Amino acid sequence: MTISHDFSGVIAPVLTPFGDDGAPDAARFVAHAKWLLADGCTGLAPFGTTGEANSLGLEERMGLLEALVDGGLDPKILMPGTGLCALSDTVKVTRHAVAKGCGGVMMLPPFYYKAVEDDGLFAYYAEVIERVGDDRLKIYLYHIPPVAQVGLSVALVGRLIEAYPETIVGLKDSSGDWDNTRALLDAYPDFTIFPGSEIFLLEGLRNGSAGCITATGNVNARMIRNVYDKWRTDAADDLQAQITALRLTLQARPTIPMLKAIVAHFRNDPGWARLRPPFLPLEAGDARAGIDELTQQYGFELKAA
């Protein structure tokens, strides 16, 4: 069985809906995943930061991944997050994702202990890869120091690529720091690198990135995909300016609650606005103000699939 690791384009870290019992809602989740593909996503990254993945238990993650695959999504376009704090839990959910045929996994470094050394992070990834022990494993490193605090230096990424060239195949850079993304692109031109925001989409593509993996792809994949499709045309800079402006408005409020409020509003499904603690939904007035801004300034809407 050969698994491609050719992820590219616009990938959404899928929002995770919760039922009124507080449990993840698999039916809404699968429906949203299918809608995202219809809306222009080329791949999906369930269980990212945006998906409140680190508020989901191990069994919940694995159950939701099974729901996606059983629901008919092609596992080859799925790149689930499988990087947990604890090495043994990471191995468990990574093995599960590989067994389900996922095209890749996105893997945070272990993020509880701070000020750990590159040697320790290298040892962690090495032990995960060896314990999973499966040639089908394709890891996309997940660099998000504003949240995880523990990041992956350019030098460490290079050591991992060199040691595991068939396994360490890409990276999502959610540092928000273009200089870091650019340094990675320059250092590892054959590596599959995704900026973590569409703000860097065009600049990234012009410097060899593979697209973007972006939270706001949950509500705006169509326009982002349009930039991806037309990035070599004369229209590219104008199209990029539009998605950058929309992104800045979308992230002006707490992003995950705002995205859920948008989905709830346009689908007329208030339950979609639920979050799991420690996150809380936006105040109704705040959500309303955000949606008004989007509709009035950008004519924004969430189209049916």
| Interface with a second copy (CB under 8 A) | 22, 49, 54-60, 84-89, 92, 109-114, 116-117, 119-121, 123-124, 126-127, 146-150, 276-280
Q: Which is nearer to a second copy, 59 or 179 (CB)?
A: 59
∠ CA 76-99-2 to the nearest 5 degrees? Answer: 50
Closest to a second copy by CB, 38 or 155: 155
Closest contact distance (angstroms) between CB of 114 and a second copy is 6
For residues 290 and 29, give the distance between their C-alpha atoms in angstroms, rounded to a whole number. Answer: 23
- Closer of 40 and 110 to a second copy (Cβ): 110
Residue 142 or 231 with smaller CB distance to a second copy: 142
The minimum distance between CB 13 and a second copy, in angstroms, equals 14
Helices and strands in the chain, H and E counts: 12, 7
* Cβ–Cβ under 8 Å, residues 96 and 122: no
Q: Which is nearer to a second copy, 148 or 250 (CB)?
A: 148
Tell me the closest approach of the beta carbon of residue 236 to a second copy, in angstroms.
Answer: 34
User: Which residue in the block uniquely carries the two structure tokens 């169509």?
Assistant: 222
In whole angstroms, the minimum distance from the beta carbon of 31 to a second copy comes to 22
- Which pairs count as long-range contacts for 17-26, CB under 8 Å and 24+ apart, including other chains? 17/260, 17/271, 17/272, 17/274, 18/271, 18/274, 18/275, 18/276, 19/271, 19/274, 20/271, 20/274, 22/276, 23/60, 24/56, 24/60, 24/63, 24/64, 25/271, 26/63, 26/64, 26/67
Q: Nearest distance from residue 226's CB to a second copy, in Å?
A: 31
Q: Which residue, 17, 72, 7, 93, is CA-closest to 44? A: 7
We find the least distance from the C-beta atom of residue 156 to a second copy, in angstroms, to be: 11
Question: How far is Cα 72 from Cα 93, in angstroms, rounded to an integer?
Answer: 20
The two three-digit tokens of residue 4, written as one number: 């491609």
